[in-house]
Every structure is written in C-alpha cells, then in structure tokens.
Chain A
Amino acid sequence: MFKQRTYILEILTAVGLLAAPFVLPYLDFSPDTVNRILVWGLFGLGFDILFGITGLLSFGQSAFFGTGGFFAAYLLTQMGFPHVTGALLIGMVVAAVVGWLIGLIALQRTGIYFAMITVAISEVFFFVEFNPLSAYTGGENGLPGVPTPSIDLGFFSYSFGTGWSLYWYLAFWYFIGMVLALRIVRSPVGAVLSAIRDNPLRAAAVGHNIHSYKLTAFVIAAAYAGFAGGLLGVMQAFMPPDAFMFETSGQLVMQTAIGGAGTLFGPLVGATVWLYLSDFFQTTLHLGATWKLVLGVIFVLLVCFLRRGIVGGLIDLYRLTRYGRNKHEAPEAIPDNDDDSEIGSSAAPASVGSAVAQGSDVILQTTGISKRYGGLVANDNIDFTVKRGELRGVIGPNGAGKSTFFKMLTCEIHPTSGKIEFEGQDITGYSVTEVCQLGLTKSYQVNQLFNRLTVRDNVVIAALAQKRGPFKLDLLTDMSKVEGLDKRVDETLALVHLTKRADRLVSDLAYGEKRRLEIGLALATSPSLLLLDEPLAGMSPRERVETVKLLKSIARGRTMIVIDHDMDAIFELAEKITVLREGSVLVEGTPEEIKNNEAVQEAYLGGMHEEVH
C-alpha cells in the first residue's frame, strides 16, 4: 500500500481533468457546477488526509475554509493586492497557521472530545466573522468583487474568465493538490498517519510522537481548506459569509463519507454526487428545500450499509473479483527443526535489531519502585536488575503484580515511588514513545496490531520509528528513500516467519500468526531490551512449542524479559527467573533453584489453595 512507484493515479487524474470539459456538458453538468465540484474536491483532499487517513473526524473545517478565503479576498478587494494566485497562497499560509494554533487546543483530546471541540470551533469562527471582524469581512454581506486570475509570462499572457475558462485554473490547482496529497499519503508520514488511525496506542508505543503527527495532519487539512476557500471567492467573484457556517463543515463531512473516506478521490466523487443531485432535485424535480431531506436520508442509509462510500465500495468490489475470498491459506509453519543453529542461519541473521553490547554490564535497574492505586499496593519496593544479554523470566501467581511491573518498565504507567534506570539513564517519568526510542519496548499480552494494514506495513511502521526518530516531516519523501527500511522489514518478517504472509491484511491472519506479528512489531524497533508480556497467551500446545522455539532464536544476541504463565516454557527459556508474589520479589534464581524453592512452591500452592475456596 505504501509502496507504489507507478504514477497511475496521477496520470488518471490528469486525463480525467483534461477530458472533463469535453464530456461533462453531455451529462448536463454546467461549467459552474463542475468548478464548484473541483473547489469542494480540493477542500476535501486535505480533510480526507485528516479524517480518512488519520481517523480524526473534524466538524470544524469551515473555520479554515473561511479564514483562507476571506484573507485572500480581503487582500484582493480591499488592499489592492494585484496577484490573485499570490493572495490565495497567502490565505493558505494564514489558514495553516490558524490551523496550527487551533490544533494545539483541539488535539488536547481525542475521540468524541475532538469532535465536540471542532464543532465549537466552527461556530466560534462564524460568530467572529459576523461580529468582531465584520469591518474586515463585510459581515453578512461578504466581500464582493474578487477578481479572476491572469497569467503574464512576458511572451504569453492570459486572463481567466468564468465558466470553462476558469475551469482550467481550478483544474490545475486540483491536480497539484492531488499530486501532493498522493505523495503525502505514500510518504513515511502518511504511513504513520494511517497507523494512528488504526491503533494510536501502538503507534506511540513503537516510538512515534503521535501528537505531532496529528497536528501535522490538522495543519495540512487547514492549508488545503484555506486555499480552497480562496478559490471559492475567485469562482463566485464574491466571498460568501456562509463559507464559515457549520453547514459548510457538515457538507464536507457528508460529501467525503458519501464518496469514500481515505481514498483521496472520495471527496471529489462525493461533491459530484451532492451537487448533481441538488441540481437534479431542485431544477428537474422541483423539490425545493426538500432536497436536503432526501440527501440526509441517502446519507444515513449510506453510513449504515456502504460505510466505505462509493469509491471505497468500488475498491472492495475490485479486490473481491480479483483476489476472491481466499482468506484461509495454510498458515506459514515455523520450520520444524530442532537444530537451533540452523534456524538462526536459515531464518535470518541474528543481528537483526539487536544492540551491540556496549558500556556497562547492567542494562536495566529498578530501585525500590512501588505502584499504589489509592490504598491498593500493586507493586511494593521492587529492586530488579537485568544484565546485558540475559534472558530473564518473570513468573508469579495471578495478581502478583507482573503486568503492573511491566507497564512501569515500559513507562505506560509511572511508579508512585522509586527509580528506573535503563542503559544508565534515569527513565522514570518518561513516555512510552521516549523509552521506545531509547531501545526498550514490549510485545503486548493482548495483540495491539494495525488491523486494517498488511503484515508488511505493520512492520514498516514499527521500523520507521527506529529509522526516523519520534517525529520527522519528510512529507514528500518516497518510502523507498528511507535508508535500510526494506532490509530491516524483510529481516524482521523472516525472523517471525511471516515472509509469505507479508501482503495479507492483519485481519486475515490466524491467531498464532498475529501473536508472531505482535512480537515482530516490537523487534522491528530494534530494541536493546525486549519485554514479552505473556507471548504464549491463548496459544494451542502446538503453537506454544513453535513459539518457544521462535523465542529461542530471537533471544540470541538480545536481552529479553519474558512474563508467562507457562512454567515449563519459562523454565526452558530463561537463564534466571524472578518470582513475584503480592507485589514484591519473592525470590530470584536459576530455573533449577526456583523449581526446588519451597517459598515458590508455597506461593503457587497457596494460590491454588485460595482458589479452591
């Protein structure tokens, strides 16, 4: 999905735009309708990056549409600014800056809060335009007299008029907008944005600063909106105040959903359907204002039954006819081979993602960490040290505080007291993203994958965090330009035996394969310390045996800590075992010592004893 070096979509867009003036008049499209579709389509391109790609549903886009539009229109009509395209670009920059400021507020929260905040923003901007700023915006009259653009290249000059003449100007900008949007979506940033849509928690956990990426998407959407707003003024020779209305945001959302969110072409298709139907209902069927009722009903039905919209539906149909429903292939088995050395050499070089031993011998050390929830003590004063290259097992009866302990190590939660040092650095109070960037990550007890992406793209996203750091604005860089990315991804896939399944969607995988991918995501960030939270959870006996083998091969050259309930597996894997009970360390030792320790037997039997009652 992220790798696409052909320019089919760009070429199709260009051909479509060139052909439109010759075809559409036969379908009863007036040039004004077509121009309007392009403005809405361009407006929607940015919104689709925000909503369809990143998963942030904003009802506040009218704020930026209006801001950019009015700024450009004010420059052109009131300040005597001579250059139309220049004014549009300035309006776009202003909208982007406003978008950045508003984004800082709106992105304080996610989910429904974000939606509510954006609704409020949309309304606030409308009132500001109408009252405090009416001297500049003309209040309810808007700004009339926006000129049309002209080109003067010295040897060639042309003034755009209205109708089909203006079409070429709009089509040019739509094309530029589409090319840029496609590049953004195919860039590493685009990959991270779609990861945020699928699973923000994991996107942050593999080391991406998701807040900055969300803000980036918000600013991109604002910039597109601002430019499109300017074009609206140019197209109508008048900047209308309803650009700022909540209804404008609503119409954009509906058009995008009708056309198909996340497809980039959705907004254009949605705008076409919307404007065509509104013309048809009003002029042909004489429905008057009722057309909105009809569109509302169509919209609700569409959300209920065709959730990916028109373009999304077509893509699904294409996939279905091309690939069929062959979801279930035999899962790729782990080579049945007891000779460990051979697995190491045949599967992948053991160096993948392992850190070269450097510096001090101790990689992780906690001093007296505790976690209290009110009166409940989940972890009490734990001292814990792991040496470089070690494979440590952590066991304990249910409720011993193992998961809490792991969450503190990866900084998902912060200890109430105590200190955590990783590679000699105090990481207490760091974020998950920061510690992952430092080289400490975990695989989750319950799979945290990017379910709507392919296996390969999942690994790509994790590897990108390690290759590019927590945040980088390489918006227009092709994925293939990220150095060493493909190699890292291939090696990781080979290591977890998912090479043959690389192009399947995660949702098509068998459970055991998903568990391996879960480990693969952690590996792809090339951790110097890897934590595995119950890697065997929910597996069949056969899968367990295979996975233990896999873990052994991964362990070579790495430092790992494994929690599991499967005692036999832990005894087989770990060199040293820490037993937790009731939130504190009961005992530490080699598997042999632990097996024969009376306190441990007591802890487990005691646990069983309690369960019986």
Chain B
Amino acid sequence: MINWGNFVSQLFNGLVLGALLALISSGLTIIYGTLGVLNLAHGALFMLGGFAGWMAYTYTGSFILAVIAGSLFVMVVGFIVERVIIRYFYDRPHEDQLLVTFGLGIVFVEGARFFFGSLSKIVPAPAGLGGILNLGFMFYPAYRVALLGIVVVALVALYIVLYRTRIGMIVRAGIEDSVMVDALGIDVYKVFMLVFGIGAMAAGFAGIVNAPVVSITPDVGEAYLVQTFVVVVIGGVGSFPGAVLGGLIAGEIISITSMINPGYSYVMLFVAMTLVLVLRPYGLLGTAGRD
C-alpha cells in the first residue's frame, strides 16, 4: 500500500510546507513578541502578497519582480496598518486587538474579492523551474525544490536581521522589555512600525513565492493562518527557533497524514497541538510567562 517513492516525496512536500509555515509563523511571532499583538490579519497579508505579486507578474512577466512587488507591497500595508490603527491598540485589552485585526483581515479578504473576483489567479513558476526534476530515486517538481531553497534563504535572512544587526538587537530587546528600550532613548514606535512591516513582509513574501504551488484566491490565507497558529502553539510564542521547529513538525504531519487520508490531516495537527499543550504548555521552545 505505502509506496516508498510516494512516501519520500510526501516527506519532501512536508519539508517545503514546513519551511513556508516557519516563515509565516516567524512573521507572526516577532510581531506578537515585540508589540504584544496577535495579528489575526496575518493570513490576509499572505493573500495580499500573492495578489500584489500576481499584478506585477501580469504587467511585467517577471517572476522576480513579482516577488519583490508582493513583499514590498505587503510591507507598506504593514507600515500603514501599524501607524494608522494598531498603534492605538497597544494600551487596549487583548480582546480589542484581536477584534480589530480580525476585522482588518476581513476587509483585506473582501477587498481582494471586490477587485479581483473569486476566481483563482495563477503565477507560473519562473522559466527553467517549471519542469520535473529527476532526483535519481524520484521525480519531483523543480519549483518545489527551488521554493525550499528560497524560503530557507528568507529564513536565514530574517535570522541575520534579528540576531546579527543593531536593529535586530533592538527588536529582541523590545521583545524582552519595550518600556526599558523606550527609556534608553530609542523611539519604540519606530521600532514597532518596522517590526510590523517586517513581520507582514514575511507573510507577503511567503504568499507570492508559494503562488506557483497553490493558486491565489481571496480565501487562500485562512488555511495558512490556522496552520500558523498551530505552529506557534507547538513551537512557543515569541520564539524564532520555535517557529522553525513547529513549522517543520506541522508541515510533516500534514503531508504524511494527507498521504494516508487527507481528511485527517487537521485532526492529527490538533492531536499534536493538544499533546504539546498538555506536556509542555509553553510550547516546545517557548518560555513561561508569555501569555
């Protein structure tokens, strides 16, 4: 019944999905870690990245320009949303932050539906990556291999920005204690805006690079948002390594379960999340005291 070639290719699918989820989750988790806001519009930002990229692709025919346009557009959206709305919610209860980002998510999704309709949009893989790759033991779509590479590069870039630059140091200090950072004479609001923009960009980037694999619809972000939440619960909120580990675990669970029976993939995901909650309530790599 289980075909080994199929199994290995599903493992690989899981790796690709896992890396993608890790990227989206790190965006979500650095926003939460720094600003204390859980962004329920994160899935919608993923979707916006896809549509913005698709627009750029339609006009220029260049995949690279599409990726740049998608990422930058969502980053700018992130800046604007933080400056105009989120900023006024830092002192309000968590529920209000959830409500407003949830509402923004709906506005984005319905806005996309208004402009682009409900039909799915396709961005083909760039020239040379559209074919099937012979890996010796199996055939595999070339773009997915490339996608894994692209996402890993993005994750490494994010890691470098967070852990090897001055601004990253400020962001991580802000995660620990934003009041103190403020007291040190650093304009936290600027940092917050930047973080929201970077976090949003991670989602937008994921949205456009994933477009050749899963076509873009206004609702495409919802499923990823849910999976991202599971990733964050498993990995631990506010933890970059946790987001990567959680992403890989969730990606493999979904892929392997899908091979046996796709209907159970969410059930298994949920079982994994429950196990983590019972055994390690703060996530595999999370620390206590972040609620």
Interface 0/1 of B68-110, CB less than 8 Å to A: 0000000000000000010010001111101110111011001
The one of A110, A128, A254, A290 in contact with B267, judged by C-beta atoms closer than 8 angstroms, is: A128
Interface 0/1 of B239-274, CB less than 8 Å to A: 000000000000000000000011111110110011
Secondary structure type dominating chain B contacts? helix
Given A112-B38, A124-B267, A296-B107, decide whether A105 and B277 contact each other with a Cβ distance below 8 A.
Answer: yes
Q: How far is B92's CA from A257's CA once the two chains are assembled, in angstroms?
A: 15
Residues of B within 8 A of A254 (CB): 102-103, 106
Question: B190 on the interface (CB 8 Å rule)?
Answer: no
Residues of A within 8 A of B98 (CB): 57, 112, 115
- Asked whether, in the complex, the Cβ of A109 is within 8 Å of the Cβ of B114, the reply is no
- Asked whether, in the complex, the Cβ of B102 is within 8 Å of the Cβ of A123, the reply is no
Question: B32 on the interface (CB 8 Å rule)?
Answer: yes
Question: A289 on the interface (CB 8 Å rule)?
Answer: yes
Among residues 115 to 131 in chain A, which have CB atoms less than 8 Å away from a CB atom of chain B? 115-117, 119-121, 123-124, 127-128, 130-131
Q: Interface-forming stretch among A174-182, A298-306, A332-340?
A: A298-306
Given A57-B95, A116-B232, decide whether A300 and B88 contact each other with a Cβ distance below 8 A.
Answer: no
- Asked whether, in the complex, the Cβ of B237 is within 8 Å of the Cβ of A250, the reply is no
Residues of A within 8 A of B111 (CB): 293
- Asked whether, in the complex, the Cβ of B32 is within 8 Å of the Cβ of A112, the reply is yes
Question: A318 on the interface (CB 8 Å rule)?
Answer: no
Question: A297 on the interface (CB 8 Å rule)?
Answer: yes
Given A116-B232, A117-B233, A290-B114, decide whether A132 and B263 contact each other with a Cβ distance below 8 A.
Answer: yes
Question: B226 on the interface (CB 8 Å rule)?
Answer: yes
Which has the most chain A C-beta neighbours within 10 Å: B32, B106, B113, B264? B106
Which has the most chain A C-beta neighbours within 10 Å: B95, B269, B281? B95
Using C-beta atoms within 8 Å of the partner chain, give the interface range for chain A: 35 or more
Interface 0/1 of A95-122, CB less than 8 Å to B: 0000000000100111111011101110
Q: How far is B38's CA from A132's CA once the two chains are assembled, in angstroms?
A: 32
- Asked whether, in the complex, the Cβ of A127 is within 8 Å of the Cβ of B273, the reply is no
A49 to chain B, nearest CB (A): 15
Q: How far is B230's CA from A119's CA once the two chains are assembled, in angstroms?
A: 9
- Asked whether, in the complex, the Cβ of A303 is within 8 Å of the Cβ of B103, the reply is yes
- Asked whether, in the complex, the Cβ of A303 is within 8 Å of the Cβ of B267, the reply is no
Q: How far is B111's CA from A124's CA once the two chains are assembled, in angstroms?
A: 27
Q: How far is B232's CA from A297's CA once the two chains are assembled, in angstroms?
A: 28
Q: How far is B40's CA from A116's CA once the two chains are assembled, in angstroms?
A: 9
Q: How far is B103's CA from A131's CA once the two chains are assembled, in angstroms?
A: 30
Q: How far is B266's CA from A132's CA once the two chains are assembled, in angstroms?
A: 11
Residues of A within 8 A of B223 (CB): 123
Residues of B within 8 A of A119 (CB): 225-226, 229
Which has the most chain A C-beta neighbours within 10 Å: B88, B270, B278, B281? B270
A602 to chain B, nearest CB (A): 33
Given A108-B281, A120-B230, A120-B270, decide whether A130 and B102 contact each other with a Cβ distance below 8 A.
Answer: no
Q: How far is B100's CA from A57's CA once the two chains are assembled, in angstroms?
A: 13
Residues of B within 8 A of A55 (CB): 93, 95
B65 to chain A, nearest CB (A): 28
Residues of B within 8 A of A289 (CB): 110, 113-114, 118
Q: How far is B233's CA from A117's CA once the two chains are assembled, in angstroms?
A: 8
Question: A307 on the interface (CB 8 Å rule)?
Answer: yes
- Asked whether, in the complex, the Cβ of B38 is within 8 Å of the Cβ of A116, the reply is yes
Q: Can you offer 26 A-B residue contacts whose CB atoms are under 8 A?
A: A55-B95, A109-B277, A111-B291, A112-B32, A112-B94, A113-B237, A115-B40, A116-B230, A117-B273, A120-B229, A120-B270, A121-B270, A127-B263, A128-B267, A254-B103, A254-B106, A289-B113, A289-B118, A292-B106, A292-B110, A293-B110, A293-B113, A299-B106, A303-B96, A303-B99, A304-B88
Q: Which B residues are within 8 Å of any A CB, using their own CB?
A: 32, 38, 40, 85, 88, 92-96, 98-100, 102-104, 106-107, 110-111, 113-114, 118, 222-223, 225-226, 229-230, 232-233, 237, 261-267, 269-270, 273-274, 277-278, 281, 291
Q: Which A residues are within 8 Å of any B CB, using their own CB?
A: 51, 55, 57, 59, 105, 108-113, 115-117, 119-121, 123-124, 127-128, 130-132, 246, 250, 253-254, 257, 289-290, 292-293, 295-297, 299-300, 303-304, 307
Q: Which 3 residue pairs spanning A and B have beta carbons closest together?
A: A131-B263, A293-B110, A116-B229
User: Knowing that A109-B291, A299-B106 are A-B contacts, what are 17 other residue pairs whose CB atoms are under 8 Å apart, sorted by A's residue number?
Assistant: A57-B94, A57-B95, A105-B274, A112-B32, A112-B237, A113-B237, A117-B233, A119-B226, A119-B229, A124-B269, A128-B267, A250-B106, A253-B102, A289-B113, A289-B118, A296-B103, A296-B110
